[in-house]
């Protein structure tokens, strides 16, 4: 009996040892690895064990597991290819293999529910055109998607859970809609595989995605909330950074997309640009790939408080303003406008259905910022200066050098006098050869304009677009006196008289 028991224990030990080598939850079948760089392959093995990594394209690397059994190896990747590859790890007699691996472009996508929202839609949150997109999703052979499982932690973690999936009608309904539209269009535009990592959490604030070290600069953030069981995980500082971002940051990516802010409309909205700037700096440091692009999605029009609590048309537009301000403090960053993508009936829908243009605009901006397509007019027009001349205000814009679309009915412009009470303004578009596209504004209620704003409300659908089809970024500004124009000569120059 003792012999049998001893034999059973030995067999159990052998079984446990045989299962000690494995890949991280981020490394596996169907993944996309960033092309032309060094990438990390990581996982678990017996403590102290040597691990070798080999690939079908000939690159190799090695590592030794630490006392916890964690190992990280590095291998070089070739140029992008649609040909399936393999990555194999070996430790002693143990071997694990990741198959159907592609080499291409990888992007990290994060935020709250508008990023989390799936292509198939959800209860009360439909995605416009989803049936067609899901049905046709198999045509994007190079698109791969991984959703990082929700996880919180008080300390930075080594690993995160996720499963890479190919794009097809079976899998795509569970993909992030924005991430899918971005990846599918980018893959088609560049003709390379594109992998997207979706790490999102509906309803979260920005502080859970920031490191504890970076949050020391913000006294308004109560770090004790992280250990308070009465506080919802969506609001606990650093817990998503530790549990979902930090472990993923070992994966090589070529850019980041951030679609969050709805939950910060009610708190710390006036320091949101600073928070985003600090977060982007930390993320880039963790990824270790320099100033890779950081793309921001503008919050959609939404009637945040329905006039309650005195917050109507106050904090929502200020947070959007902060999003745009962040592009001035975050190097190599940009924002895609969305104020034209909501329907009137979506007044009380924080998840607008028209997600395809959001992903497409992110694709165009990525092509311009990350892939050398400098001439692509992918940047939204934004207010450059507002001049006043009597009762008229003329607003000039950056990124509108080819003029305007949809100029017949222009909604969203308002003027105010010294008292700061805004009134609807009549708008006429124009174009000046030297200064580019402009809008001229007047209002019978405001004979002496001092301030101008555009779509600076919780819910205001923008109607004016640049020739590229991109809407104006909402703004508010104090007007400046119209500069004097240089005097024109009275006539042709006179020749001096002959002596």
Q: What is the pLDDT of residues 393-432, one digit of tens each?
A: 999 999 998 899 866 789 999 999 999 999 999 999 999 8
- 444 in the same domain as 347: no
- 97 in the same domain as 109: no
Task: Please answer whether residues 199 and 108 qualify as being in contact, where contact means their C-beta atoms are separated by less than 8 angstroms.
Answer: yes
Q: What is the pLDDT of residues 198-210, one digit of tens each?
A: 999 999 999 999 9
Which pLDDT band, with edges at 50, 70 and 90, does 434 fall under? confident
What is the structure's pLDDT at 19?
Answer: 58
| Count of domains for the chain | 3
* Residue 421 β-bridge partners: none
Between these two residues, 495 and 220, which has the higher pLDDT value?
220
- 353 in the same domain as 238: yes
Which pLDDT band, with edges at 50, 70 and 90, does 258 fall under? very high
Domain-embedded: residue 78:
yes
Sign of CA dihedral 167, 172, 175, 177: positive
What is the structure's pLDDT at 436?
Answer: 87
Look at residue 2 and tell me whether its pLDDT is greater than 70: no
User: How much of the chain, in percent, has pLDDT values that exceed 70?
Assistant: 91
Domain-embedded: residue 93:
yes
Among 51, 78, 101, the domain-final residue is: 101
Name residues whose C-beta falls within 8 Å of residue 407's C-beta, 6 or more positions apart in sequence.
429, 464
- 197 in the same domain as 327: yes
| Kind plus residue range of the DSSP H or E element containing 76 | strand 70-76
Task: Please answer whether residues 453 and 473 qualify as being in contact, where contact means their C-beta atoms are separated by less than 8 angstroms.
Answer: no
Instruction: Work out the number of other CB atoms within 10 angstroms of the CB of residue 408.
Output: 6
User: How much of the chain, in percent, has pLDDT values that exceed 90?
Assistant: 86
- 81 in the same domain as 115: no
Residue indicated by tokens 């009762």: 391
What is the structure's pLDDT at 356?
Answer: 98
Q: What is the pLDDT of residues 125-150, one digit of tens each?
A: 999 999 999 999 999 999 999 999 99
68 exposure class (CB count in 10 Å sphere: 0-12, 13-18, 19+): exposed
| Kind plus residue range of the DSSP H or E element containing 256 | strand 256-259
Name residues whose C-beta falls within 8 Å of residue 31's C-beta, 6 or more positions apart in sequence.
98, 101, 102, 144, 146, 164, 195
Task: Please answer whether residues 143 and 180 qualify as being in contact, where contact means their C-beta atoms are separated by less than 8 angstroms.
Answer: yes
Task: Give the mean model confidence (pLDDT) for residues 300-306.
Answer: 84
pTM as predicted = 0.93
Q: What is the pLDDT of residues 104-127, one digit of tens each?
A: 999 999 999 999 999 999 889 999
* Residue 200 β-bridge partners: 111
Domain-embedded: residue 364:
yes
Look at residue 224 and tell me whether its pLDDT is greater than 90: yes
377 exposure class (CB count in 10 Å sphere: 0-12, 13-18, 19+): middle
Q: What tokens were used for 368?
A: 């311009």
Q: What is the pLDDT of residues 326-360, one digit of tens each?
A: 999 999 999 999 999 999 999 999 999 999 999 99
Q: Please tell me whether residue 423 adopts helix, strand or coil conformation.
A: strand
Q: What is the pLDDT of residues 84-94, one digit of tens each?
A: 999 999 999 99
Measured in whole angstroms, the distance separating CA 87 from the mean position of its chain's CA atoms is 29
What is the structure's pLDDT at 313?
Answer: 64
The whole domain housing 118 covers 103-370
Which pLDDT band, with edges at 50, 70 and 90, does 494 fall under? very low
Domain-embedded: residue 1:
no
- 47 in the same domain as 28: yes
Q: What tokens were used for 175?
A: 């993909």
Mean of pLDDT over the chain: 92
Residues comprising the chain, all counted: 499
Pairing of the two strands 143-147 and 165-166: antiparallel
CATH at 396: 2.60.40
Which pLDDT band, with edges at 50, 70 and 90, does 485 fall under? low
- 95 in the same domain as 131: no
Read off φ and ψ for residue 351, nearest 5 degrees.
-115, 80
- 74 in the same domain as 46: yes
* DSSP states of 192-207: S-EEEEEEE-TT--SG
487-494 long-range contacts (CB < 8 A, ≥24 apart) are none
Among 79, 101, 123, the domain-final residue is: 101
Whole-number Å distance between alpha carbons of 46 and 17: 7
């Amino acid at each position: 009996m003792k012999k049998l028991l001893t034999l059973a224990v030995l067999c159990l030990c052998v079984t446990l040892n045989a299962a000690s080598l494995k890949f991280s939850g981020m490394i596996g079948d169907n993944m996309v690895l960033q092309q032309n760089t060094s990438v990390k392959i990581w996982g678990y093995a017996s403590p102290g064990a040597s691990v070798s990594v080999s690939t079908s394209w000939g690159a190799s690397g090695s590592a030794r597991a630490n006392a916890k059994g964690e190992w990280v190896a590095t291998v070089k990747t070739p140029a992008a290819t649609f040909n399936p590859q393999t990555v194999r790890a070996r430790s002693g007699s143990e071997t694990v293999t990741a198959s159907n691996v592609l080499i291409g472009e990888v992007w990290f996508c994060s935020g709250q529910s508008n990023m989390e929202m799936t292509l198939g839609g959800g209860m009360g949150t439909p995605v416009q055109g989803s049936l067609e997109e899901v049905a046709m999703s198999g045509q994007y052979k190079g698109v791969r998607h991984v959703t990082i499982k929700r996880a919180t932690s008080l300390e930075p973690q080594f690993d995160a859970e996720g499963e890479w999936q190919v794009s097809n009608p079976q899998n795509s309904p569970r993909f992030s809609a924005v991430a899918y539209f971005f990846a599918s269009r980018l893959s088609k535009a560049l003709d390379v595989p594109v992998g997207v990592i979706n790490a999102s959490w509906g309803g979260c604030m920005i502080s859970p995605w920031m490191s504890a070290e970076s949050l020391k600069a913000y006294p308004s953030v109560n770090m004790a909330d992280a250990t308070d069981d009465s506080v919802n995980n969506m609001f606990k500082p650093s817990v998503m950074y530790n549990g979902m971002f930090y472990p993923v940051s070992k994966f090589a990516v070529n850019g980041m997309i951030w679609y969050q802010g709805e939950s910060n409309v009610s708190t710390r909205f006036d320091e949101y640009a600073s928070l985003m700037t600090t977060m982007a700096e930390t993320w880039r440091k963790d990824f270790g790939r320099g100033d890779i692009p950081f793309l921001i999605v503008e919050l959609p029009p939404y009637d945040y408080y329905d006039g309650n609590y005195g917050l109507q048309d106050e904090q929502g537009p200020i947070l959007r303003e902060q999003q745009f301000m962040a592009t001035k403090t975050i190097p190599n960053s940009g924002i895609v406008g969305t104020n034209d993508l909501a329907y009137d009936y979506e007044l009380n829908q924080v998840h607008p259905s028209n997600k395809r243009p959001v992903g497409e605009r992110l694709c165009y901006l990525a092509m311009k910022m990350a892939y050398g397509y400098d001439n692509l007019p992918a940047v939204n027009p934004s207010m450059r200066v507002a001049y006043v001349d009597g009762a008229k205000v003329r607003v000039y814009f950056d990124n509108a050098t080819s003029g305007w679309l949809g100029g017949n009915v222009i909604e969203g412009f308002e003027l105010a006098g010294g008292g700061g009470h805004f009134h609807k303004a009549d708008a006429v578009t124009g174009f000046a050869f030297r200064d580019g596209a402009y809008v001229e504004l007047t209002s019978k209620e405001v004979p002496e304009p001092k301030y101008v704003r555009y779509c600076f409300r919780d819910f205001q659908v923008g109607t004016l677009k640049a020739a590229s089809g991109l809407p104006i970024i909402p703004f508010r500004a104090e007007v400046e006196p119209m500069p004097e124009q240089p005097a024109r000569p009275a006539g042709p120059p006179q020749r001096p008289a002959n002596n």
